[in-house]
Amino acid sequence: MIKLFYIIFTILIATSCSLKPIDKYHGVAFLEKKQEKLLINKSNKNDIIRILGAPSTQSVLEEDLWIYIENRKSKSSILKLGKEIVLTSNVLVLEIDNRGVLKNKKFYNIDDQNDLIFSKNETAMSDKDSFVYGVLSSLKQKIDSPKRNK
- Which phi and psi (to 5°) does residue 49 adopt? -65, -35
CA-based nearest residue to 62, from 92, 91, 97? 97
Q: Could you tell me if residue 131 is inside a domain?
A: no
Average pLDDT value for the chain:
78
pLDDT band of 58, cuts 50, 70, 90: confident
Q: Is the pLDDT of residue 50 over 90?
A: yes
Q: Is the pLDDT of residue 20 over 80?
A: no
Q: What residues contact residue 74 under an 8 Å CB cut-off, 6+ apart?
A: 21, 22, 23, 24, 84, 85, 87
Structural domain boundaries, residue 102: 21-118
Q: Could you tell me if residue 72 is inside a domain?
A: yes
Q: Could you tell me if residue 11 is inside a domain?
A: no
pLDDT band of 37, cuts 50, 70, 90: very high
- How confident is the model over 4-19, as a mean pLDDT? 70
Q: Could you tell me if residue 27 is inside a domain?
A: yes
Calculate the alpha carbon distances from 149 to 37, 40, 137 in Å. Answer: 69, 68, 19
- How confident is the model over 122-141, as a mean pLDDT? 70
Q: How far apart are CA 91 and CA 47, in angstroms?
A: 18
Convert the pLDDT of each residue in 62-117 to its tens digit. Answer: 778 999 998 888 876 656 666 777 788 889 999 998 888 999 999 988 877 666 67
Q: Could you tell me if residue 38 is inside a domain?
A: yes
pLDDT value at position 133? Answer: 73
Q: Could you tell me if residue 51 is inside a domain?
A: yes
